[in-house]
Amino acid sequence: MSTAASPSPISPSSWSNVPLAARPVAVLKFGGSSVGSPETFSTVVDVVSESVKHGPIVVIASALARVTRLLSGALENFTTHHHDEGVVDELVDTLRRRHLDHAEAALRSDSLEAYRLILDDHLSRLRTVFGRVREEGFSPALRDSVLAAGEQMSVPILTLALQDAGYLAPHCDATQLVVTDDAFGGANVQLTDSADRIRRWYGGLDEKAIPVVAGFIGATRAGTITTLGFEGSDYSAALFAAILEAGALTRYTDVNGLYTSDPNTDANAERLDRIDMEEAYARTESGALGMHPKTLRPLVHAGIPMQVRSILRPQARGTCILPTGVDLSVIVPPVPAAD
């Protein structure tokens, strides 16, 4: 096991001079496996409804399961097969069908109509990006614009579903909030700029709002879209939690917490009930916990606990990652009764 020492704690208030008028009780992150099927999507809405009873929350969502990979594969195909327009047509058809099927199951009719327009807009932008690849040739920057489309198409479904459920769920644009350098494909977040923007944005929201923000994506200061690397939504969620000094980060996924190794490939993997932040940090940085390697950095700095829970068993406790001196009881939304 890696023994990477965790960074020393730095108060998040040193990242930004923008004062925080309010702090979310939790940031909830829903990965592609959670937002990716109609069944688990309805559990996402239930979990949000339950969580918000305990105070303000911020939601970070990924692309629907497998969509980022689909986008990446199609771009590779397009680039290596002489810019075959058929690849783009097939991609757009598949994405339209997948997202509309999902939205039809999740949304009321007027929201569905609104979503159709949003989806058409993103699909037409996607075609434009492929057009640029044909004209200008492949570049990592254009690849990020393609990959970002997954979150850009998924997040509005959740926002509209929350509005249908009676919540104030404003449209939020991650590219206006997460400032990065131009290391396309694995961009580095500019902490101070991002913290300033995120704190100002959060301060301007209605206190009852449930913001849903796309994970995985950001933009350079000049406004060019970037991505944080695969599974970057985990990292986005941790950044928002640290910058907004949230009570906790809860990551919903398709397994009931963290295991000693990948439970889908190792029959001997053992579930961890709780794990110290230091220990989890070392294992995450070496890629052993199935999360973006940078996920725990902001949480270590800010001393914020994290839960990893299953969207398939939302009542189950999952795994708690606890910074030194932080008690399980601070985790909000509260840990449900033991299963």
Ligand X SMILES: N[C@@H](CC(=O)OP(=O)(O)O)C(=O)O
Binding footprint of ligand ADP on the chain (CB under 6 A): 31-34, 62, 65, 231, 253-255, 258-259, 261-264, 288-290
- Shortest Å, Cβ 218 to ligand X: 12
Q: What residues from 196 to 215 belong to the interface with ligand X (CB under 6 A)? A: 215
Please give the full DSSP string across 254-313, using - where no structure is assigned: SSSS-BSS-TTT-TT--B-SEEEHHHHHHHHHTTTTSS-TTTHHHHHHHT--EEEEESSS
User: How many other CB atoms are found less than 10 A from the CB of residue 203?
Assistant: 13
The torsion angles phi and psi of 334, rounded to 5 degrees, stand at -60, 150
Q: CA–CA separation, 66 vs 325, rounded Å?
A: 38
Interacting stretch for ligand X, rule CB under 6 A, among 41-49, 62-70, 123-131, 258-266?
62-70
Q: Which residues have CB under 8 Å from 245's CB, separation 6+? A: 12, 13, 20, 23, 302, 304
Binding partner of residue 258 among ligand X, ligand ADP, none, CB cut-off 5 to 8 Å per kind: ligand ADP
User: How many other CB atoms are found less than 10 A from the CB of residue 29?
Assistant: 30
- Shortest Å, Cβ 152 to ligand X: 11
The tokens describing 82, both together, are 């002489």
Q: Would you say 303 and 328 are in contact if contact means Cβ atoms under 8 Å apart? A: no
**Does the protein bind ligand X through residue 68 (CB under 6 A)?**
yes
**Does the protein bind ligand X through residue 150 (CB under 6 A)?**
yes
Nearer to ligand X, 68 or 163 (CB): 68
Site string for ligand X, 276-315 (x = CB under 6 A): ----------------------------------------
- Shortest Å, Cβ 244 to ligand ADP: 21
Binding partner of residue 264 among ligand X, ligand ADP, none, CB cut-off 5 to 8 Å per kind: ligand ADP
- Shortest Å, Cβ 266 to ligand ADP: 9
- Shortest Å, Cβ 272 to ligand ADP: 8
Nearer to ligand X, 192 or 286 (CB): 286
Q: CA–CA separation, 158 vs 44, rounded Å?
A: 9
Q: CA–CA separation, 310 vs 142, rounded Å?
A: 34
Sole binder of ligand X in the list 32, 247, 257, 305 (CB under 6 A): 32
214: helix, strand or coil: strand
- Residues at the site binding ligand X, with contacts judged by CB under 6 A: 31-33, 62-63, 68, 150, 215-216, 230-233
